Amino acid sequence: MSVQHHRVHLHGADVSVLLEIPPQGMPTMVHWGPSLGHPTQASIDALCQGIVTPVGHNAVDEPVIVGLIPSQAAAYSGQPGLTGSRGGRAWSPQFSLVTTQVRATADESGPAQVVMAYRDDDAGLSLDLTVELDRFGLLRSRAVLTNVSDDPEPYQVDRLVLAYPVPGEARELLDFAGRWGQERVPQRHSFTVGTHLRENRRGRTGADSAYVLHAGTRGFGFEQGHVWGVHTAWSGNHVHYAELTFDGLRVLGGGELLLPGEIRLATGESYSSPWIYGSYGVGLDQVAHRFHRYLRAQPKAVGTDRPVTLNVWEAVYFDHDKDRLIDLADRAAALGVERYVLDDGWFGSRRDDFSGLGDWVVSKEVWPDGLHPLIDHVKKLGMQFGLWFEPEMVNPDSDVARAHPEWILSARPEWPVLSRHQQVLNLTIPEAYAHVRDQMRAVLDEYAIDYIKWDHNRDLVEAGSQPAGGRPVVHEQTLAFYRLVDELKAAYPGLEIESCSSGGGRVDLEVLERTDRVWVSDCIDPLERQMMMRWTTQLIPPERMGSHIASGVSHTTGRWHRLGFRAATAVFGHLGIEWDLAKASEDELTELAEWIAFYKQHRELLLNGDLLRIDGLDDNVWQHGVVAHDRSKAILALVFTGEPKTLPGSRLRWRGLDPDARYRVQPLTFGAGWSGMKPPPWWGEAEEEFPGIEITGGELEHVGVAPPVMHPDQVVLFEAVMVQPV
Ligand code: GLA
């Protein structure tokens, strides 16, 4: 490990970041990628010399560089990192380094963090830049800009983004699109000259968020190719972008998207960008593993004991009938469910989605004795209790909106367009914030509530603050949301919170710093969920994804799926049920209980293992699974998402196991989900179970085994258990 003033080598796991920090101008990332080992100072100096380019034809007379905050002062002609001005002045600052602090990792194994303080006295600005590389090789940085001028004119910040360079071999891009019920749809194309700009003005992370924007070598996949991914950890308006300039500089960047005049810094005031994360790996799985390890190492990380949950939404919707809900609790407990969640409809005049939103008082109409009879019953059955809130939202037809119309976010005296018949409450108004917090606290004080499903069902449109003359406040609203979550978490230790937003519309690393899981999507159709889970795990680990088994006919797609497919899909996340169990047959209930027992038996591995994703043998076949950190066991899924065109002549290969150790690989064939399959001979004769085969991890990867013949929309799970370690 080597550190030299102004050239800092950060090293974490198998990743290196080499920063060149000149006395003037922004730091540049000379390298972000595979480990450089422990280079000597001389070799670091040589590296930094070696990358200096000649001056191009018809170019400025110094080599053009791209700093962590790209700037025109360094002759960079692409997207600037900082835009802003003081009434048209100080728009192109040139920062000088004041101090550099290098902090070591907790175990002193090397530098983990560099904090650089800059100043431009002419512009009246100071800038603090932090760059960290954690022990899992995950990079993150952020910038804090402060107005240090005495000038009474504030400094208006229009943009402050950070950019990480990627090498010329990164020729392809992968990021995500999506919509309600169809979150995280991958899109892939060449990394061409220009800017691939993903802007979000929804005031929430968005179902169409770029999520993780990757650049990689041609044909990169789950396992192969060098891949660099960037994530903007912010739940309000934000950007991700990839840019290639004609001088061959390639960057991946991100930051907050600021609305006009949103940030105006008076003397002494600061603006902090969100954290911009960067994960490099060989293959997308390695990129994902770094994010997962980072989240799992957080002090507030959730454990693997995620309780099996029943959410009543698709079972009863707004029909809050006490006896029916108690009956549902009985049925859930009998199956082994451990947490019961009462969804929308328990408060105010909320008998449908036209009315009552924002009045967080238990409805006397539907709950004359309060929620006590239900909660007492749920607790007696040994289950935890969870409750739905949508704290930032109001129906115009609500007590709160009638009493305080000025509390609605709007840029003009007229309210913005309705969405799901609702408007957004302006949490930047202290009284509005206190009103919501106190109403929520009153409910949390009266009832033993273990879990909140925190929803946010519309975009922010024309989100101005009326008391501030309609000024845009998405930035402050986002901070107020974080503050409210933090305040409630501090006041109710142990309270868990799910981040839901019309399904998976608020999934990012900043919301996950303070919440315990996300609702992946309102679409619980397992075929769609196979795709959504494949890509949602690119950023977050399985234990953070709410993953439910719904009724046979999907409420959002109308497709029917057998229980085996629904359950074998759902067990790779935080398992729940969202189904009117009173309508399930005895056979279905028996099978459901088996799946719940399976999940409980294996959740340590399912929710803690290393994610494994394999492009299947055919466009309609896909493989995924989880492997224990010590490689002693794995649970693997073979999924037919349609009728394959080429099976059964090919071989099923699995990587991820120890190549030299022997494993017993067995299909797990409980429930009725596997009926109709034609097993290959290696499964053996089934008695209680199929005996399977003993094979090494290397053989399984390089030789493989024959797949079964299966139907479309069918999954078979395999367990691989090490029988003979190396
Ligand atoms: C959103 C959520 C659903 C449900 C409804 C209730 O759509 O994503 O799961 O909670 O709100 O209105």
- Return the bridge partners of 722, or none: 663
Written as six digits, the tokens of 275 are: 């954290």
Which of 497, 430, 499 is CA-nearest to residue 467? 430
**Ligand 1: distance of its center to the CA of 27 in Å?**
45
pLDDT at 4 over 90: no
Q: Which residues contact 194 (CB under 8 A, 6 or more apart)?
A: 243, 244
pLDDT at 494 over 80: yes
CA distance linking residue 433 with residue 641, whole number of Å: 46
pLDDT at 668 over 80: yes
The answer to whether 650 and 676 have CB atoms below 8 angstroms apart is no
What band does 179 get if pLDDT is binned at 50, 70 and 90?
Answer: very high
| H or E element, residue 313 | helix 313-316
The answer to whether 171 and 228 have CB atoms below 8 angstroms apart is no
- The letter for the amino acid at 212 is V
521 lines ligand 1 (CB under 6 A): no
- The letter for the amino acid at 218 is R
- The letter for the amino acid at 546 is G
pLDDT at 409 over 80: yes
503 lines ligand 1 (CB under 6 A): yes
390 lines ligand 1 (CB under 6 A): no
Beta-carbon count within 10 A of 548 CB: 24
pLDDT digits (tens, 9 = 90+) for 606-648: 999 999 999 878 889 999 999 999 999 999 999 999 998 887 6
Q: What is the pLDDT of residue 702?
A: 96
pLDDT digits (tens, 9 = 90+) for 162-177: 999 999 999 999 999 9
State in Å, rounded, how far the first CA of the chain is from the last one: 32
Q: What is the pLDDT of residue 1?
A: 35
Residues marked as catalytic: 455, 522
Burial 677-694 (b: 16+ CB within 10 A, else e): bebbeebeeeeeebebbe
498 lines ligand 1 (CB under 6 A): no
Q: What is the pLDDT of residue 647?
A: 72
pLDDT digits (tens, 9 = 90+) for 94-141: 999 999 999 886 665 556 899 999 999 999 999 999 999 999 999 999
pLDDT at 482 over 50: yes
What band does 271 get if pLDDT is binned at 50, 70 and 90?
Answer: very high
What band does 671 get if pLDDT is binned at 50, 70 and 90?
Answer: low
The answer to whether 546 and 512 have CB atoms below 8 angstroms apart is no
Q: What is the pLDDT of residue 672?
A: 63
Which of 645, 540, 464 is CA-nearest to residue 233? 540
343 lines ligand 1 (CB under 6 A): yes
**Ligand 1: distance of its center to the CA of 492 in Å?**
24
455 lines ligand 1 (CB under 6 A): yes
The predicted model gives 374-385 an average pLDDT of: 98
Task: Reduce the secondary structure of 604-620 to three states and give it as a string.
Answer: HHHCCCEEEEEECCCCC
Give the predicted TM-score (pTM) of the model. Answer: 0.97
The predicted model gives 64-74 an average pLDDT of: 94
Which of 236, 221, 237 is CA-nearest to residue 286? 221
Pocket test for ligand 1, best of 180, 388, 555, 579 (most atoms within 8 A of CB): 388
**Ligand 1: distance of its center to the CA of 357 in Å?**
12
Which residue bears the tokens 């800017």?
A: 195
pLDDT at 5 over 60: no
What band does 673 get if pLDDT is binned at 50, 70 and 90?
Answer: low
What band does 196 get if pLDDT is binned at 50, 70 and 90?
Answer: very high
- CA-nearest residue for atom 11, ligand 1, is 502
Q: What is the pLDDT of residue 2?
A: 37
CA distance linking residue 625 with residue 611, whole number of Å: 6
346 lines ligand 1 (CB under 6 A): no
pLDDT at 3 over 50: no
The answer to whether 250 and 192 have CB atoms below 8 angstroms apart is no
Q: What is the pLDDT of residue 646?
A: 80
pLDDT at 688 over 70: yes
Pocket test for ligand 1, best of 183, 309, 313, 347 (most atoms within 8 A of CB): 313
Which of 212, 131, 120 is CA-nearest to residue 173? 212
- The letter for the amino acid at 317 is Y
**Ligand 1: distance of its center to the CA of 455 in Å?**
7
Q: Which residues contact 424 (CB under 8 A, 6 or more apart)?
A: 203, 392, 393, 394, 408, 409, 458, 460, 463, 477
Strand extents, DSSP E, 111-265:
111-120, 125-133, 138-147, 155-165, 172-179, 182-190, 194-200, 213-216, 226-233, 238-244, 250-256, 263-265
Give the residue, 308 or 687, on which the prediction is more confident: 308
For a pLDDT cut of 70, what percent of the chain falls above it?
98
DSSP 542-567: GGGEEEEEE-SB-TTT--B--HHHHH
CA distance linking residue 182 with residue 177, whole number of Å: 9
